[in-house]
Amino acid sequence: MAIIKEKKKGLLDKIKGILGDSKTIVFVNFKGLNVLDTTQLRNDLRNEGSLYTVTKKTLLKKSLEESSVKGELPELEGELAIAYSEDEIAPARGVYEFQKKHKDNISILGGIFEGEYVDKEKMLSIAQIPSLKGLQGQFVNVINSPIQGLVIALNEIAGRD
């Protein structure tokens, strides 16, 4: 279905706004994803502070041509959506977690990270970075481990008497 010129201009402006306001944008291929699953993905991403928008490839490419993003645009195949946020990792992590449950219906194609295009592999590695709370928990474990070892050793020594 053809989109009228005014609507295309509005969509183009929306995409340009997203490009200007977001620190990270993930290009997502979705195929056969039903409305219930799409709604669940949107809700999961929103809970992480990210948004999800289905877009036309031609409008996205036109917006990207006018942007200051460096590098080479990854190949955008199939039906396209973008997940974006001011958080640098949340959109990639959200789509990646959802992708684990719906392998045949959704995949990461690449994205924009720190003002540069990144390919699928790099975006997947970004998606696997733990959240801030997860990193804080790991840090507490690292600090707690020697103390716990000392307590166990002292308990063993005290138990010998």
Q: What are the residue ranges spanned by the domains of the chain?
A: 5-129, 131-161
Strand partners, 121: none
Predicted pLDDT at 157: 86
What are the phi and psi torsion angles at 91 (to 5°)?
-65, -40
Predicted pLDDT at 77: 87
Predicted pLDDT at 2: 64
Helices 5-21, 57-65: inter-axial angle, 10-degree rounding: 60
pLDDT in tens, the chain (161 residues): 566 888 888 888 888 888 888 889 999 999 888 899 999 999 999 998 899 999 988 888 888 888 888 888 888 888 999 999 988 899 999 999 999 888 888 999 999 998 899 999 999 888 888 877 888 888 888 888 888 888 888 888 888 76
Topology annotation, domain 5-129: Alpha-Beta Plaits (3.30.70)
Q: What does the alpha-carbon distance between residue 145 and residue 148 come to, in Å, rounded to a whole number? A: 5
Give the side-chain half-sphere CA count within 13 A for 71: 14
